[in-house]
Amino acid sequence: MAYTETKKALNQLVADLVQAHTVIHQIHWYMRGEGFLFYHPKLDSFMDDILEQLDVVSERIITIDGSPFSTLKEFSDHTRIPDHKGEWNTSIQEDMHRVADVIRILADDYQLGVDAASKEGDVASEDICTGYLRDAQKTLWMVEAELGQAPNIDKD
């Protein structure tokens, strides 16, 4: 089977994982204020998780005879995560809302991966996406709980 839709969904993840890492790294660099000592290392952990996911997803694309995006242009052309110039004057709460938005997009991407892989009978890709979807939803719950909000997992 060609797994055409699965490869497309996984490549969307590649573009968005690269952008997610970039956005969270930018927030990490520009962050200032009360809570810095807690959030700064927490963002390191998020970035490590994203890089691990990126490698697993990219290698899965190769395993099913696809080609993962691998250039800055491809990442930029295909990401759904918005780009913003780094700013020193944002609050940590604003930064963490932005982190939650990024995680929500990744959760949506993983759901699309689950759906595509399930439809095409790619159990291994479905399993990968299901696990990372679960992780993204848990992280989203935790970030939004820290912000005093419900997780809004199905938020559009």
pLDDT of residue 118: 98
Q: What number of other Cβ atoms are within 10 A of residue 98's Cβ?
A: 18
pLDDT of residue 1: 77
The answer as to whether 113 is a domain residue is: yes
The answer as to whether 109 is a domain residue is: yes
The answer as to whether 152 is a domain residue is: no
Mean pLDDT over 94-102 rounds to: 96
The answer as to whether 91 is a domain residue is: yes
Mean pLDDT over 119-126 rounds to: 98
Which CATH number fits the domain that encloses residue 93?
A: 1.20.1260.10
Which position has the higher pLDDT, 66 or 152? 66
The answer as to whether 95 is a domain residue is: yes
Which position has the higher pLDDT, 4 or 156? 4
Percent of the chain with pLDDT over 90: 94
The answer as to whether 20 is a domain residue is: yes
Q: Count how many domains the chain has.
A: 1
Euclidean distance between CA atoms 10 and 43, whole angstroms:
24
Report residue 120 as tokens: 């095409």
CB 13 within 8 A of CB 113: yes
Look at the block and give the residue holding tokens 């004057």: 89
Euclidean distance between CA atoms 119 and 90, whole angstroms:
42
Which three-class secondary structure state does DSSP give residue 147?
Answer: coil
Q: Please say if the pLDDT value at position 142 is more than 90.
A: yes
- Asked whether the whole model's pTM tops 0.85, one would answer yes
- Give the domain range for residue 51: 4-147
Q: Please say if the pLDDT value at position 151 is more than 80.
A: no
Mean pLDDT over 138-149 rounds to: 93
Q: How far is CA 30 from the centre of its chain?
A: 20
